[in-house]
Structure 1
Amino acid sequence: MSVELNHTIVHARDNRESAEFLAHILGLEVGAEWGPFVPVATANGVTLDFASIPPESITLQHYAFLVSDDEFDAAFERIEERGLTYYADPHGKQPGEINHHHGGRGVYFMDPAGHGMEIITRPYGSHPEPAGRS
């Protein structure tokens, strides 16, 4: 058997709020609560298990999701409908923009716990960058 990521735990102030937020943006379903976790499964079988912990214990993380062009359009529309601040870069220097890296599109936004979320339409390194761009 090859090694695959099966699940990861995502710390949240409110596990239900964070799970529902991400599921809504990405057009996914929130699974049945299981013990202290509220799961959201991705198409490739990886489950994000949201767990409520005290806010001061949350270590902010970055989660990137590869989506189709149509899924990007739908997710980006939901980001705009919610009035979320979004960026073309992970450092928040390009607010209100998306990027076109790797021959696709990408955008960054924050979830309710403060984690950095990213949606991209092309994997990193899948398309050569034009000269002079990074």
Structure 2
Amino acid sequence: MPIARLDHTAVYASDRHLSAEFLAAILGLRVGAPFGPFLPVDLGNGVTLDYYEKRDEPIQSQHYAFLVAEEEFDGMIERLKAVGVTYYADPAHTEPGRVNGLFGGRGAYFADPDGHNMEIMTRPYVRP
């Protein structure tokens, strides 16, 4: 086992149910049972995103990238279209309705209900 492995991370949301259900629907996952103040989305690899509601403070946008199976990618794009969410080929959201071809795969970016910059990609980034 590696020395460290991400187990979970908190995702701040103005409405934890809305945000968790949104991401789960796009990725084809399910929202788990509440755990204290958290509402988990199990990513299926031993990692959960634990949605935590913050209503009294502005939500600072974060970036979350998901490595997805090539055969699942088109379905995710279709689900984004079905709910009227624009996807982009780039993280700055300047290329609407397009996907990228980075590292021999496909990828797209989209905003969740609180403005977090979500990314789906079919190939991991190549690092030096």
TM-score bracket for the superposition, by shorter chain length: over 0.9
- Give the counterpart letter for 2:31 in structure 1: V
Normalising by structure 2, what TM-score?
A: 0.94
The CA deviation string for residues 39-62 of structure 1, in whole angstroms up to 9 with x for no partner, is 001121110000110263322100
How many residue pairs align between the two structures? Answer: 126
Give the 5 Å matches for 1:44-63. 44-54=45-55, 56-63=57-64
Q: Which residue of 2 aligns with 1:91?
A: 92
Partners of 1:43 and 1:100 in 2: CA distance:
25
Aligned to 2:15: 14
Secondary structure class of the residue paired with 1:23: helix
Q: What corresponds to 1:130 in structure 2?
A: none
Report the residue type matching 1:53 in the other structure. K
The reply to whether residue 34 of structure 1 matches residue 41 of structure 2 is no
Partner of 2:120: 119
* One-letter amino acid of the structure 2 residue matched with residue 15 of structure 1: R
Larger Rg over CA atoms: 1
What residue identity is the alignment partner of 1:50?
Y
Unpaired stretches in structure 2, ≥5 consecutive residues: none
What is the SS of the residue equivalent to 1:89?
coil
Output the aligned Cα RMSD: 1.3
- 1:79 corresponding residue in structure 2: 80
Unaligned runs of 5+ in 1: 127-134
Q: Which amino acid aligns with 1:118?
A: E
Q: TM-score scaled to structure 1, two decimals?
A: 0.90
Amino acid aligned to 1:8: T
Output the amino acid matched with 2:27.
Answer: L
- Alpha-carbon separation, structure 1, partners of 2:89 and 2:106: 9
